Structure 1
Amino acid sequence: MSAEAGVYDLKGLNCPLPVLKARKRLSEMVPGSLLWLETTDPLAVIDIPAFCADNGHRLVETQAAGGGHRFLVERGA
């Protein structure tokens, strides 16, 4: 797995903006690409995994981080 994951700062945005912005960013990426989503929205721990499952992306890792969470997402096909 490549360590070349990008970082998308979604801190300060509330539902549904983190998912909407993540969807747009991931749609512009090549399948198999990795992207860290950084959020402060408490609902992101529910919304991001559900978004990945519904859209064929793989949630590789979740971390608690400075007032929010980080999600490593692999772009699906």
Structure 2
Amino acid sequence: MTTTPLNLRGLKCPLPALRVRKALKGALPGTLFVVECTDPMAAIDIPNLMRETGDAIEHSATQGEILVFHIRKG
């Protein structure tokens, strides 16, 4: 399985969610994305996006001001 980092630090809403959607669209099932964001709205937008796409957040954490999501393409 492939792990792909997505550094979305400094991007403001709605760009983090849009970039994650684009990355997921072109990915093979089983791909793991490690997404790093600094926009606090990503804590709402990315889980909502996962409900829309059917992909899964396997882990999420906050490291200082950085939100980290481990997203698995379904």
Regarding TM over 0.5, the answer is: yes
* Identical amino acids, percent of aligned pairs: 36
How far does the alpha carbon of each residue in 1:24-59 deviate from its partner, in whole angstroms, 9 at most, with x for none?
111111011100110000011111111011111001
Return 5+ residue gaps in structure 2 as ranges: none
Runs of 4+ in structure 1 over 3 Å off = none
Q: Which residue of 2 aligns with 1:14?
A: 12
Q: How does 1:52-67 map to 2 (within 5 A)?
A: 52-67=50-65
The one-letter code matched in structure 2 to 1:33 is: T
Instruction: Kindly state the Cα deviation for residue 74 of structure 1 after the two structures are TM-superposed.
Output: 0.4
The one-letter code matched in structure 2 to 1:69 is: L
Describe the SS at the equivalent of 1:61: strand
The equivalent position to 2:23 in structure 1, one of 22, 25, 36, is 25
Compute the RMSD of aligned alpha carbons: 1.2
Q: Which residue of 2 aligns with 1:36?
A: 34
User: Separation in 1 of the partners of 2:27 and 2:63?
Assistant: 25
Q: What is the number of equivalent residue pairs in this alignment? A: 74
Instruction: Kindly state the Cα deviation for residue 68 of structure 1 after the two structures are TM-superposed.
Output: 1.8
Return 5+ residue gaps in structure 1 as ranges: none
The one-letter code matched in structure 2 to 1:16 is: P
Instruction: Kindly state the Cα deviation for residue 17 of structure 1 after the two structures are TM-superposed.
Output: 0.2
Instruction: Kindly state the Cα deviation for residue 69 of structure 1 after the two structures are TM-superposed.
Output: 0.5
Higher strand share: 2
